[in-house]
Chain A
Amino acid sequence: MSVRFNTRKLTILAQDPAVRINGNLVFAQVEIPYEDLGDGPTGYRVKVVDFDGSANVLYRPFKVGGEVDGMPVDGFAVPDGLSAPQRRAWEKRLLADPTFHSQNVYAIVMRILTCFELALGRRVEWGFQGHQLHVAPHAFLEANAYYSEDDKALLFGYFDSRRAKGRVFTCLSHDIVAHETTHAVLDGIRDGFTSPSTPDQAAFHEGFADVVALLSVFSLRETVELALTDGGKVDLLPGGLRKVLKERVSREAILASFLLGIGKEFGSSLDEEGARADCLRRSVRIEPSAHLLDSPGYEEAHARGELFAAAVLRTFVAMWSRRIDGLGTFDGKHCNLDMVVEEGARAAGHLLTMVIRALDYCPPVDLTFGAYLSALLTADTEVAPDDTQYMYRSLLRETFASFGILPAPQGTDPESGCWQPFDHTSDIVYHRNHSDSMLHDKEEVFRFLWENRRTLRIDDRGYLRVCSVRPSVRQGPDGFFVRETICEYRQVAQMFGAETMSQLGIERPEGMSTRQAYTAYGGGTLVFDEYGRIKYHIEHRLDDGARQSARLEYLWRNGLHDQLSDSTSNFSELHRNRITS
């Protein structure tokens, strides 16, 4: 009897085509959930359609390979035993094959989606009505790639680079595909984060997408090994262990490797064309300073997002370095290469899971980096209360603080930086609700909110609605599961400029007319434990004058006060600027 596999291995380009190690492109085989794939590929979450809007043509779709002994065949796996010229020729054929491009985007999108589902312990919805995200690997002839909620799609462009003297396909850039996918997934988890708000909120979408794109590479062990050894011959220690020079795995060397440092990657081909190139990786080169957040140069979404990414990535490098130090050395000069790579994968995997889980503990509107940090610390404390072994949380706090990011000033425990647990002495009425429905039914949760609005101090002046009710199941290091229900509610308050003082308690900005229409938001996240009791009430209140004032001031100054939420145009413009600027 043949073995049935529940995963499928597919080859992707793990680094951009401009990165070559020993003359070879960096491929990796990734494992994603098995599904009955249709042409495209088309699966239950992703539908790749290779339509080129500039040429108005449809390209040959990817067709799924057969199976050998119950194992799906990866038609683009790197063949064994190729000579250098043969490998070059094979790579050239692969890069010129649109069906490989389709496989590449499908596999990367599914892999990122799987990371989220694994971390959150549930299926993750897209941010639009529908189950399948369209992916167009060659959507148009333009140096742009973006997620479009309205089109239910990731659209990747291609263009002719003057410096690279050739055609550049954004769908072949692992970082770009992973980054755009993260936007789509994040929009499904928290759709309010695409609304015009504080500078932190727009920046978070960008910085978070960078973080996921970069950290997800570190679980590709062959790629990490290539980065640490530059593809050179690996010497063996007595006993057959493979070794690597200690200096090659120092903190500085990791920061400078092509995984995080200034690489020869895709983006750099645009450098001399007036472009801001290796944008994802630039963040790690930002020297920590608590003043950067307040400097005008870091108010723009991408720049500010880089500060967020810098804080997370520097935390990762510190985590990995600590683990490497714990491994010890052979003869004081060498480390065990396999263990170093393994520890990198573990540290990255752990941090990636942490940063994703934190999303459930974020307030649903007007996110700030500080609120996210509190969510991150709280989510990790829930699953792993004991932080004494690797001290990840203290490392996170230190690194974030070095970039001026401190836990939220309100609603948190000053010592741990975590959200304050809900006060169970309050008179919450549970008995009017059906506990089973409270696990999934928005109407039931709304009734709960309405009945308890006074106790929960929920302002009911604006339009109040429950946006989501989601289960969350997470496994801690002790093997036990933490089961929770995450509910988001949001309030929308529309007013005129003349009413900002009476409604929000804030002055309207200079130059704002009394008749100017303005919309303010409030909202909260309720985390219920497995018994249906409130564990946390994480709120960004409608009447929080300081937050509302900062938001209005920022939106007014940047002409965004009357802009509706439109993720299509937002990401399209942001990313065109990023890729080509």
Chain B
Amino acid sequence: MANAPISATIFAYQVGFGDCFLLRFDYPKRRRHVLIDFGTTGLPKEVASTHLLTIAKDIREKCGGKLDAVVATHRHADHISGFATKKDGSGSGDVIRELLPDAVVQPWTEDLDLAIAARAPAQNGKQAFHAALHNMHEISAHVVRLLNSKPKLLPAKTAAQLRFIGEDNLSNASAVNNLASMGKARHYVYHGSKSGLEKILPGVKTHVLGPPTLEQSEAISRQKSRDAQEYWHFHLKNVTATPSTTGSSEPAFANDVVARGSKLPMTARWIANRIKQARGEQLLSLVRALDKQMNNTSVILLFETRTKKLLFPGDAQIENWQYALSKPKIQKLLADVDVYKVGHHGSLNATPRSMWDGFQKKGKAKAENRMTSVLSTMEGKHGNEAARTEVPRATLIRELQTHTHFHSTHMLPSQTLYQEIHIPF
């Protein structure tokens, strides 16, 4: 078949804690390139500050100055910060923009014309709901500002976790705007929708497995919603607390202060410490909820060629996956996946056990047609081993190493720009 790819190559770029994959399909007469995510929230220490620009230029070189498509799975910084532009046009996002992608694929939740109470992709553009997103970013900005002021009240571990999640959820306005105006066509996808890549990748069937719309699955929000507003108002209601959560720390009754935190009478010390701790935990639960919600807007794509299946789930967590995995047809479709981009940097909740158990091409080192797994991550950035929340999760890595051809950017020398994984069809 002249119109079908004969092999694929994945360039897994070293972005530290983030994702950046250039997926190349080799056709008999030409190559097609899809860039899946480009972002980081923590580069390896040894690399230069211009590292993302270097990657962008390398992508330009690899694709010969023309990208066929860009997929931005969701708007977390570790997936899109590389798309940010600079006023003088020298940003890594400027380079990608010049590659004139024919299509930009994003989740339906990124459609800025959606109504604020949207439960599904818009039929008619109503009031934009980006206000909700804006407010979510506001929380993150407040949290990061609070941390920058070096508050003495927050326990160090809580502060570190807050900073990590807070920074990942900052607005990335430049990257978002670049993605919203880049390329010839933009496609906002959801479970079962067209991917927008049909003509761009002939001979490849691109299944959109996630995110589900709320009408498809209430599970994405983990809360049964009573009304159409619940989904995005989940964020709004948290946002209502923004100014108060992270705003002024002036005493509410300045004339009635009898003691500062460091000189409390014995009778108040125990509960005062508990309150301080509770405050940090509240902030953390707020930003964690927000972070998880955003991860669950991730686009999940399955590229199916005549002989191979390549699965790219972004950072989708269990709530996003649940809808797809509830369908026997999808379970069957996923059973013979050949390449799995490990979800959410190898975290606890992003590789559903039932899906992993269902992968039939897992096998020992010498097994025929053994599955390949690709992970982009960095150790020591997120979670902790004692709580069994470290990223990447050690038990998952062990399973991946035992049962698949395992590749991970965290095992690359930091100066190595990318790992190249060839997939013959």
| Chain A partners chain B | yes
Q: Which residues of B contact A141 (CB under 8 A)?
A: 244-245, 247-249, 252
Q: Is B259 an interface residue (CB 8 A)?
A: yes
Please tell me the size bucket of the interface on A.
35 or more
Q: CB-nearest residue of chain B relative to A48? A: B271
Residues in B whose Cβ lies below 8 Å from that of A273: 240
In the bound complex, residues from chain B placing their C-beta under 8 Å from that of A159 are 241, 243-244
Assess whether A142 is interfacial by the CB under 8 Å rule.
yes
- Closest partner residue, chain B, to A513 (CB atom): B353
With the chains together, A155 CA to B277 CA distance in Å?
12
Output the least CB separation between A78 and chain B (Å).
Answer: 22
Tell me if A580 is interfacial: C-beta within 8 Å of chain B: yes
Check: B411 CB closer than 8 A to any chain A CB: no
Asked if B354 lies at the interface with its beta carbon under 8 angstroms from chain A, I say yes
Q: Contact between B238 and A576 (Cβ–Cβ < 8 Å)?
A: yes
Looking at the assembled complex, report how far the CB atom of A138 sits from the nearest CB atom of chain B, in whole angstroms. Answer: 5
Within B360-400, the residues touching A (CB, 8 Å) are none
* Cβ contact within 8 Å between B326 and A510: yes
A274 to B131, CA, bound (A): 12
Residues of A within 8 A of B237 (CB): 274-276, 576-577, 580-581
A298 contacts which of B226, B249, B274, B285 (Cβ < 8 Å)?
Answer: B226
A297's partner among B226, B238, B326 (CB-CB below 8 A) is B226
Q: Which of A61, A151, A167, A516 touches B252 (beta carbons < 8 Å)?
A: A167
Q: Is the CB of A274 within 8 A of B253?
A: no
Chain B CB within 8 A of A222 CB: no
- Number of inter-chain CB pairs below 8 Å: 186
Structural contact, B222 and A559, CB atoms closer than 8 A: yes
B-side contacts of A558, CB under 8 Å: 222-224
- Chain B interface size band reads 35 or more
Residues of B within 8 A of A581 (CB): 233-234, 236-237, 240
Within 8 A of B (CB), among A46-64: 47, 49, 51-61
Query: Does B279 sit at the interface, judged by CB under 8 A?
Result: yes
Check if A569 is an interface residue, CB within 8 A of chain B: yes
What A residues does B276 contact at CB under 8 A? Answer: 53, 56
Q: Closest approach, in angstroms, between the C-beta of B238 and any C-beta of chain A? A: 7
B122 within 8 A of A: no
A274-B237, A559-B222, A572-B282 known; A139 and B257 CB under 8 Å? no
Q: Quick check: which of B43-51, B78-86, B90-98, B262-270 contacts chain A, the rest being far away?
A: B262-270
A478 to chain B minimum Cβ distance, whole angstroms, is: 45
Residues of A contacting B248 with CB < 8 Å? 141
Whether B184 sits at the interface, judged by CB under 8 Å, is: no
Q: How far is the CA of A274 from the CA of B260 in the complex (A)?
A: 35
Q: How far is the CB of A195 from chain B (nearest CB, A)?
A: 18
Q: Is the CB of A96 within 8 A of B285?
A: no
Is A559 in contact with B354, judged by CB distance below 8 angstroms?
Answer: no
Contact digits for B254-298, partner A, Cβ 8 Å, 1 yes 0 no: 001111110011011001101110110110011001000000000
Q: List 22 A-B contacts (CB under 8 A).
A: A52-B252, A55-B257, A57-B260, A58-B259, A58-B260, A58-B261, A58-B272, A59-B251, A60-B253, A60-B257, A98-B253, A139-B278, A143-B244, A153-B275, A158-B252, A159-B243, A270-B240, A273-B240, A274-B236, A297-B227, A558-B222, A559-B219
Since A513-B353, A581-B236 are in contact, a sample of 5 more A-B pairs with Cβ atoms closer than 8 Å, ordered by chain A residue number, is A55-B249, A57-B257, A58-B265, A58-B272, A568-B278
> Which residues from chain B sit less than 8 Å from chain A, CB to CB?
152-153, 218-219, 222-227, 233-234, 236-241, 243-245, 247-253, 256-261, 264-265, 267-268, 271-272, 274-276, 278-279, 281-282, 285-286, 289, 318-319, 322, 325-326, 352-354, 357
